[in-house]
Amino acid sequence: MNQVRIGIIGAGRISHVMSAAHAQVPESKLQGVFDVARGASERLADKFGIPLIFESYEEMLASDEIDAVLVCTPTFLHEQIVIDAANAGKHVFCQKPMALTVEQCERMNDAARRNGVILQVGFMIRFTPPFVEVKERLDSGEIGDIIAIRSAVFGWEPTGDWFYDPNRGGGLLIDTIIHTFDLFRWYAGDAATVYADGGAYVFEGARRHGTPDNIMCALKFKNGAMGSIYGSWSSGYGDKTLEIYGTKGSFFIDLMEAQGGRAFIKKSADGSAGGGGAEGWSNLGVLWKFGYQQEARQFTYSILGKTEPSATGTDAVAAQKLAMAADASIRSSRIVEL
């Protein structure tokens, strides 16, 4: 096999992002799509020239014309689809979060292992510059041992009520901050303890479902390093900052200020370019231009045996444990040991 035939399950917003990424990987072929709303399938197929539209995901999994699937459905639907795909012998890319509980994640990961298929999870920050270079330089010992690592993480207001629901989307910790839990593990290793606090400060959806829209989280890693995360859904803007302090030096990443550069555009009152007052700055989008494409390439190359799997189901299980520990800490106001 020199090209991986990809089937997409779920044709919402993220499927368009992932399809655009795989369209830039010559070894990937967008082969099929299924969504419960056929119109969504047709729009994705028309946009990316996908030849096959399936009437169910089970039909897709039974097809000899599909080698791997991208699971782009809402979180609460992930578990059964991933297990069914693994049992059908299809390699799986699952959007983050992998599932809503540690037990669900473990069952999904076990299914992939048992069937000998690759399971990659959508931790695209691992594949985005400059986070990749930081990992390489940390591993080289350039800044010595890590003393502290901290990050501020900003996401946008959720587009649907299900994001707040612990039984459907998981809330801020599981849906958004799980990226940073995975990144911290990648850089500093496993955590020993977690203490978190937070609340529903802004959004009615968070209040109604009893999940926070803003959190603070303190971690102590097994190697002695300290960690700190501030996460928010209510800032009105997205992106993150990261600081790592070591015994010999430090690293700083600020995607709030620049993603490979910044653009500042003056706009007129009607929104057109030129004249009028300043509208502010916008990033040039390293994450969106490179992160998703690189994780698509990683998934494809892993299937083809060109590289070792990364952002695996095992990584997702470990990140889920951190998220659930932080949630338990918020609810109990106690330090949680891992």
Beta strands in the chain (DSSP E): 4-9, 28-34, 52-53, 68-71, 91-94, 119-121, 146-154, 191-199, 214-221, 226-232, 239-246, 250-254, 262-267, 273-283, 336-337
Measuring CA to CA, how many Å separate 123 from each of 41, 88, 177, 275, 310? 25, 24, 11, 40, 9
pLDDT for the residue numbered 275: 47
pLDDT value, residue 269: 53
52, two tokens: 């096959």
- Measured CA to CA in angstroms, residue 36 lies from 41, 54, 176, 191, 289 at distances of 8, 10, 25, 40, 29
Show pLDDT as tens, one digit a residue, over the chain (338 residues).
899 999 999 999 999 999 999 999 999 999 999 999 999 999 999 999 999 999 999 999 999 999 999 999 999 999 999 999 999 999 999 999 999 999 999 999 999 999 999 999 999 999 998 899 999 999 999 999 999 999 999 988 998 999 999 999 999 999 999 999 999 999 999 999 999 999 999 999 999 999 999 999 999 999 999 999 999 999 988 889 999 999 999 999 988 876 665 555 455 555 444 444 445 545 556 676 789 999 999 999 999 999 999 999 999 999 999 999 999 999 999 999 99
CA atoms of 292 and 289, how far apart (whole Å): 7
Q: Which domains does the chain have, with CATH numbers?
A: 4-124 (3.40.50.720), 125-287+311-337 (3.30.360.10)
Three-class SS of 188-250? HCCEEEEEEEEECCCCHHHHHHCCCCEEEEEEEECCCCEEEEEEECCCCCCEEEEEEEECCCE
The single-letter code of the amino acid at 295 is E
Residues 6+ positions from 268 with CB-CB distance below 8 Å? 274, 275, 276
Q: Strand 262-267 vs strand 250-254: parallel, antiparallel, or unpaired?
A: unpaired
Residue type, 282: S
Find the Cα–Cα–Cα–Cα dihedral 159, 105, 212, 13, rounded to 10°: -10
Question: In a 10 Å sphere around its CB, with 0-12 CB exposed, 13-18 middle and 19+ buried, how is residue 335 labelled?
Answer: middle
CA–CA distance, 191 with 21 (Å, rounded to integer): 32
N-term to C-term CA, the chain: 42
**pLDDT score of 52:** 98
Distances (CA, A) of 61 to 1, 18, 84: 18, 19, 8
How many CA within 13 A on the CB side of residue 241? 11
Partners of 69 in beta bridges: 7, 92
Quote the CA–CA distance of 206 and 163 in Å, as a whole number.
9
Q: How far apart are CA 232 and CA 219, in angstroms?
A: 18
Contact (Cβ atoms closer than 8 angstroms) between residue 11 and residue 36 = no
SS3 state at 129: coil
Nearest to 174 by CA among 325, 320, 328: 320
Check: pTM over 0.75? Answer yes or no.
yes
Bond into 97 cis (ω within 30): yes
